[in-house]
Amino acid sequence: MVIENQLGKSDHDHLGKLLTYGSALDASAVVWIAGRLTEEHKKALDWLNDHTTEELSFYGVEVELWKIGDSSPAVRFNVISKPSEVERKTAIVAAKEGVTDAKRLQLEFWTEFEKRLRETHAVPSTQAPRPQYWYDVSLGRSGIHLSNFANTYENRVGLRVYLTSQIADQALDQLLKEKETIEKEIGAKLTWNPYPDKKDKTILLDRPAELEKRDRWPEYLNWLIDHNIKFRKAFGLRVKKLDLARNENKVDLDNL
């Protein structure tokens, strides 16, 4: 195992060291600990986990100091990026048994979606399409992103602001205060927190889509692209301004 420690915000230099040490020591697990992992570095670790074998795992961990009253500061580690066992097993099965027709259709759909999204120049970067029902787009902040989906079983396409469990409740409460303004900017009523029992929270917009009918794809893709742009405009700046302090007594490592 290789562990790379870094106080403050993550940077490219430490990412390079992480990969260099990992390869030199032939590590099976690589852990990056930082005061704050940026969205691009979390995305890099997620990409590495998605595109490497099950024998190699990458972890991104944010470290905090918590202080309650007059007590001494205590260290808290928050895992921001880790391998997904479900995705790993799915990838293994797909490699052994081949990609299903539904997965192949989704891959083709996302390939065309990524191409069109890139051509709009509305996002700074796009991820590689994969044979799965979702396609994520960055909103510029760790723990929050746009998640597009093409559900071939329920015949629906849509997108959602995805709020991960660590900050979900705080972020949703703050965004709900601007619900009417946000929906006016997007031009549609959204479904806020459709699964209240789940720790992760979402803000959803979807529509029917007969994905088997490829002649309808331009209609669906245009709708998705249009709403990705609208969602990024409506949520992008608001997401960056969210007050997501995990604890009012948290010690800011960047200012030590």
Q: Which pair of tokens denotes residue 147?
A: 């998640």
Looking at residue 55, its pLDDT comes to: 65
CB atoms within 10 A of CB 125: 9
Classify 99-241 by CATH class: alpha beta
- Which CA distances in Å does 192 have to 51, 139, 172? 33, 18, 8
Residue with tokens 């079983």: 153
- Amino acid present at 189: K
Low-confidence ranges of the chain (pLDDT < 50): 86, 93, 96-97, 247-256
Among residues 65, 64, 62, 234, the alpha carbon closest in space to that of 142 is found at 62
The span from the CA of 111 to the CA of 102, in Å, is: 14
Looking at residue 248, its pLDDT comes to: 35
Is the CA virtual torsion 154, 155, 157, 158 positive or negative?
negative
**3-state class (DSSP) for residue 196:** coil
CB atoms within 10 A of CB 87: 14
Where along the chain do its domains lie?
A: 2-83, 99-241
Looking at residue 142, its pLDDT comes to: 84
The span from the CA of 232 to the CA of 212, in Å, is: 28
The span from the CA of 234 to the CA of 21, in Å, is: 41
The span from the CA of 238 to the CA of 252, in Å, is: 22
Looking at residue 96, its pLDDT comes to: 47
Strands 191-192 and 156-163: unpaired
Phi and psi (nearest 5°) for 115? -60, -45
